[in-house]
């Protein structure tokens, strides 16, 4: 794909190319489509490494972003393209919530609920239920679109994410056993049932039944029997949200109880920003590539 334009696949799913830029021999693209799940236009980015020009199907790594972010944060600051070009990885970065006129937002304009804070859930509460269907969008609609329009080997998928997106990556992988060969996270919200961000988001989107929240909590999913083969998590030691919101020790205990191999790396001096993420992005992509090979 190059330049601006529209592309329609055999199933009728149409995407619009917003921009393409050459980078490390591959192509960084930004695309838009009309989502049936969210009822809005959704924007996402895809990096195609140079190996895509051969026509070969390539492994895919999904990157889910955190609070206040769009696809653009990791696309512009993640420093992933050199490694993806070397390793032959496609990287897909979706948005974090529906957007557009008429999409409900937090009444007070808070950053941790509403636009930019979809928490990768399918909302059931009014007025959010109509648009905030990020679980179905990430688990079903967007993968079908990627498979239709890009040279993606959907039998070789990995998933990662940051903060709220780390929560999304962990819970999506745990709910879909066998779909992702590799799972990692940067500073994930490990247990939304046990932190203010999670209580606000899940209560607002899902309602007051905390039992229903368990489908969106990695530690609860593991306690309830969900499994992945192994996990890699990096956490900054100087992260302001570490104790109050992220609580990696809860994930560590859940994995220990379930015999899930977890590599939890505490990184002294690193905070919650993309300075942290970009530092360890190469490590994560190489870890994914080793598990997506063949």
Query: Which one of 71, 149, 162, 272 is the catalytic residue?
Result: 272
The answer to whether residue 272 is catalytic is: yes
Query: Which one of 65, 239, 284, 288 is the catalytic residue?
Result: 239
Query: Which one of 163, 184, 190, 191 is the catalytic residue?
Result: 163
How does DSSP classify residue 2? Answer: -
The answer to whether residue 41 is catalytic is: no
Q: Select from 86, 44, 89 the least CA-distant residue to 65.
A: 44
Sheet containing 5-8: order of strands: 5-8, 14-23, 26-34, 41-48, 90-93, 58-64, 152-161, 180-186, 231-236, 262-267
3-class state of residue 177 by DSSP: coil
**How far, in Å, are 87, 107, 185, 235, 250 from residue 271 at the CA level?**
27, 29, 15, 8, 20
**How many CB atoms sit inside 10 A of residue 95's CB?**
27
Could you give the CA distance from residue 221 to residue 157 in angstroms, rounded to a whole number? 21
The answer to whether residue 239 is catalytic is: yes
Q: Catalytic amino acids? A: 163, 239, 272
């Amino acid at each position: 794909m190059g330049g601006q334009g529209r592309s329609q696949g055999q199933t009728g799913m149409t995407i619009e190319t917003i921009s393409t830029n050459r980078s490390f021999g591959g192509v960084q693209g930004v695309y838009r489509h009309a989502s049936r799940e969210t009822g809005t236009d959704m924007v996402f980015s895809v990096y195609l490494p140079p190996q895509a020009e051969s026509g070969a199907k390539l492994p895919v790594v999904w990157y889910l972003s955190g609070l206040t972010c769009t696809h653009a944060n990791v696309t512009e600051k993640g420093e992933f393209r050199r490694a993806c070009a070397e390793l032959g990885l496609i990287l897909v970065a979706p948005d974090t919530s529906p957007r557009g006129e008429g999409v409900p937002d937090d009444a007070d304009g808070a950053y941790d609920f509403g636009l930019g804070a979809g928490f990768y859930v399918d909302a059931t509460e009014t007025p959010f239920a109509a648009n905030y269907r990020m679980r179905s969008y990430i688990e079903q609609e967007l993968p079908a679109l990627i498979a239709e329009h890009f040279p993606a080997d959907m039998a070789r998928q990995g998933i990662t994410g940051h903060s709220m997106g780390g929560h999304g990556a962990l819970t999506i992988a745990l709910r879909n056993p066998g779909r992702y060969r590799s799972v990692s996270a940067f500073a994930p919200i490990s247990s939304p049932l046990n932190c203010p961000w999670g209580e606000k988001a899940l209560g607002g989107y899902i309602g007051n039944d905390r039992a229903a929240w368990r489908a969106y909590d990695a530690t609860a999913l593991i306690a309830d029997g969900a499994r992945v083969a192994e996990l890699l998590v990096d956490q900054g030691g100087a992260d302001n949200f570490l104790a109050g919101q992220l609580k990696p020790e809860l994930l560590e205990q859940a994995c220990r109880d379930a015999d899930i191999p977890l590599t939890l790396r505490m990184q002294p001096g690193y905070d919650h920003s993309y300075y942290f993420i970009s530092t360890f992005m190469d490590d994560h992509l190489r870890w994914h590539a080793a598990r997506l090979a063949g």
